[in-house]
Amino acid sequence: METGANVPLYGPYSKKYLGLSKIVPRAQAPGARFDLVVHPTCVNGAVPVPNTTFPCGYHPWQAAPDGSFYSYRCELLPKDRLYASITFFRLDENAWGVRTRFHNRTELPRNCMLNYFCALEYPAARRTLPVLPEGAVRWHALDYASYTYAQPRPWDGLAPDALQKGEFRDEAFTDGHGLGDRVPHAHMPRLAGLRPFGAQAGDAVGYRVAVPGFEDAALTVRYRTVPPQGGHGERGASAEPVVFDTAFGPLSFPPSGAPAFVSFPLGAVPPGELALTLTARGTGGAGVELDFFAVTARARAAAVGVCTQEPDARPVLERERDGQYRLRYAGVDEAFCVRVYGERRRERLLETGSLEDALISRLSNPDHTFDDVLNPFSGSFRRKHSDPGWYQNLLVSGLFLQPGACHTEYAVLSATPRTDTPQALEQVFRAGKRRAKLPAFNPAGRRYRLSVRCLRAAALTNVVYPLYRRGEMVAHYTPGKRWDSFYTWDSGFIGLGLAQADAELGRRVLEQYLSGPENSDFAFVHHGSLVPVQFYLYQDLLARAQDKAGLLRLYPAMRRYYEFLAGRGEGSTTARFASGLLTNYDYFYNASGMDDYAAQVLMHAKGLSGRAAPVLFTAHVIRAAKILRQSARRLGLVQDEERCGRDIERLSAALQCAWDGECGYFSYVLHDDEGRPQGFLRTDAGENANKGLDGVYPLVAGACTARQQSTALAHLKSTKELFSPVGLTAVDMSAAYYRDDGYWNGAVWFSHQWFFWKTMLDLGEGAFAWDIARTALEAWKREVDDSYDTFEMINIATGRGGWFHQFGGLSCPVYLWACAYFQPGTVNCGFDVWLERASFTKNCTACTLELSTRDCARDALVLAALCPGTRVRAVLGGTVLPCTERAPGAWEVTVPHGLKNAVVELRPE
């Protein structure tokens, strides 16, 4: 199974600054990356360097789905007055071009310059490495054959962050990894009794290691002890030793808050396999974290140690003719060739890993007297050195622009020197720009092209390297470069957005979050809110695929994912309530992704997370079961199909105990110590705390009675409750706990709206589906047209975007809606429809849809985007189906429910 590591060597992978990166497979440490940062500026100006983590005037502008072309706009002066378009484009597999075009739309001449910053980046500033005497046999603590806790953890089968069970990351441990229990669980009071590894009798770890044989051996272990409240990497020594029993006698680890060594005599060890199992006696409090083990001759045990290595990232610069530079680094067997085409070029060297340490007024002045760019002008300020590292600065100056003029500069990053002419580079640039062009929208949708193009560019360029995934360094599409981690629910939406651009990208994102049968550490990749958007991505990819065989091969991994969600797999605790409702709070503080959702905030404030079941998680598991059932049926897996059906019935019935008929919302249900439902979560004033999107989520699952469905729809459509001027709000605006300045509470996000939009197609609510999509498109257009930023959300009070400014992730539904209504050749169904195949005529004036509606409870809508201008008739066999043109070219077809195999044709009248 692919993990997503198979990206091109070159791309926008930096986590620090926007630019072009090259993955370096062989260096002083795994995960190395060479960065080329491009910084256009005005001479004596104050244009920031392109930091990826906060706004600095750079905007993702355009990107090709195949990764061969992407561009940014840099504002040198506010909003289109003086700006630079920075483009990176592939020349071949070992060379990329860089094109920077300055535009002066002011009434005054401008003096500009261009900085290129080159750096070799490592994941960590230092590494801890073992030092061993001759003949030693060493193994890492993570190389275990077995690892168990006497008291099972909810995450025994779902190690977070794509780590091995028991693995944590810490630079103080060799290679940055150790073995222990650092999974955060402070949000869950019911788990407060968990103790660190080794604190409870019966905690055990076992190894099987080949050894050459020793006459008199010793076992040396690097470790540290952790206090009773350990498990989160706290420092400070425990008050007592941690003792394990082994076949060689007891192993006692003295208290030590920092990593330390302890040696134990083994006696004669014959050649062959050494079996070593450590079983804790149990201290009741203190535990241990393990680094590595080494077996040596007893006389040499004291020679076992560690050293620290700081990768040498200082460049050796070789100057060649015609602006060609070659950069070499210690421990790297390749050179990095950078050719700069500007006539006035110079070099500067920065001893820092943070470009913000440099004074911006020095970076924007090419004179040699300003070359020490870290030097403050006044003794009132100190010289900064925030991070270790080096930047080689290649600068081009003397770029004078008259009013209305443009100027273009080129550069090339390659493995070997290049002789490309500017004319040749321009030709490749123009070809790449055509590949990056957004597919044509119908005239009615063209007003959204800029805002949608910027969003697509952000999603396609928000990819970072490296991220650590179970022993390997991988590239990863992230919600935004501020987040240097996996994100389960965000990545589902990233996959949906990327699949709209290129289905293969969506598949890669999905596979990176799934686990193969060889992986016993995690059923799927989990980080953050456990909202299983991967099932919706899987369904979307299946609907897009004309040949579904490859995707159906992922069914076993999806089933494994589902079994964990349903509470049946690998130690899952989601089904621990007798009510039948599911909960995901053992795994993260945030059940729905809505961080400050009012019910969740109240629940945590009252310490009720161990007793509460949110609605949304059970609803999503029902929908996941329905999606899995469709695939099982397609594969002929009758038992799986029937099992999913039983789950759907059982969980749908359980949701009924969450219905509060007084307010018309489903509720957070509280349980007693035996897991029996005890009542609803209410505010101190008695108001149901779940008046919001969580409270209407059974609509998405298709688990409502007729009365519940009509009530939930009324809430969603009400402009006084959930439908704000900029879209569906997370929290009911009429609730006493609604805020106007929250992160989710008082804001509109696009992710959960997408689920309700798809549900409206299942319910035949085409007009409301259009209201959701159109309102979102307008709100997004208004913000992006003004700021060029692709924010996380829209504040209801102002209608303006907020939080991270180059977000893709959960904002991708905006792109999906624009394509659904305005990009000819696009088909969308609700969740209950199985789309087997869709084919369009070349000019997209007609299409044929092969589908099944056997799972639909009522007639469903299918939305097909065609070229506008002609009336369309929808035909099923000899029957004409109801058909509505919701927007010019966007046709909604009402398809009867209960059809196993239907062929619907849309053709001009």
Extract the tokens encoding 823: 């990009």
| CB-based contact 138:297 (threshold 8 Å) | no
Backbone angles phi, psi at 97, to 5 degrees: -100, 155
Q: What was the pLDDT predicted at 229?
A: 66
pLDDT at 3: 40
Residues 6+ apart with CB under 8 A from 302: 263
pLDDT in tens, 344-376: 999 999 999 999 999 999 999 999 999 999 999
Going by DSSP bridges, is the β-strand pair 10-11/665-666 parallel, antiparallel, or unpaired?
unpaired
843-876 pLDDT, tens digit per residue, is: 999 999 999 999 999 999 999 999 999 899 999 9
The answer to whether 394 and 340 are in contact (CB under 8 A) is yes
3-state SS of 556-584 is HHHHHHHHHHCCCCCCCCCCCCCCCCCCC
- Tell me which H or E stretch contains 529: none
Whole-number pLDDT of residue 845: 96
Instruction: State which residues of the chain have pLDDT below 50.
Output: 1-5, 231, 233
Give the tens place of pLDDT for each residue, 760-781: 999 999 999 999 999 999 999 9
SS (H, E, C) 763-790: CCCHHHHHHHHHHHHHHHHHHHHHHCCE
State the alpha helices, DSSP H only, in 394-533.
Answer: 422-435, 449-461, 488-501, 503-512
Identify any residues that bridge with 724 across adjacent strands, giving them in sequence order. Answer: 727
In this prediction, residue 2 carries a pLDDT of 39
Beta strands at 665-666 and 879-881: parallel, antiparallel or unpaired? unpaired
- Rounded Cα–Cα distance for residues 766 and 683 (Å): 36
Nearest to 849 by CA among 887, 799, 784, 903: 903
Cα gap 408→152, rounded to integer Å: 62
Kindly write down the DSSP assignment for every residue of 480-504, as one continuous string.
STT--S--HHHHHHHHHHHHHH-HH
pLDDT score recorded for residue 234 = 53
Whole-model pTM: value is 0.96
Which pLDDT does position 6 carry in this prediction? 66
Number of residues written out for the chain: 909
CA neighbor of 894 nearest in space, from 803, 846, 829, 801: 829
Nearest to 851 by CA among 863, 839, 840, 836: 836
The C-alpha atoms of residue 828 and residue 511 are separated, in whole angstroms, by: 23
Q: Which residues pair with 337 in a beta bridge?
A: 326, 414
Q: How would you label 201-231 residue by residue, b for 16+ Cβ within 10 Å and e otherwise?
A: eebbbebeeeeeebeebbbbbbbbbbbbebb
Domains and CATH numbers, the chain: 10-122+312-437 (2.70.98.110), 127-309 (2.60.120.260), 444-822 (1.50.10.10), 826-908 (2.60.40)
Question: What pLDDT is recorded for position 298?
Answer: 96
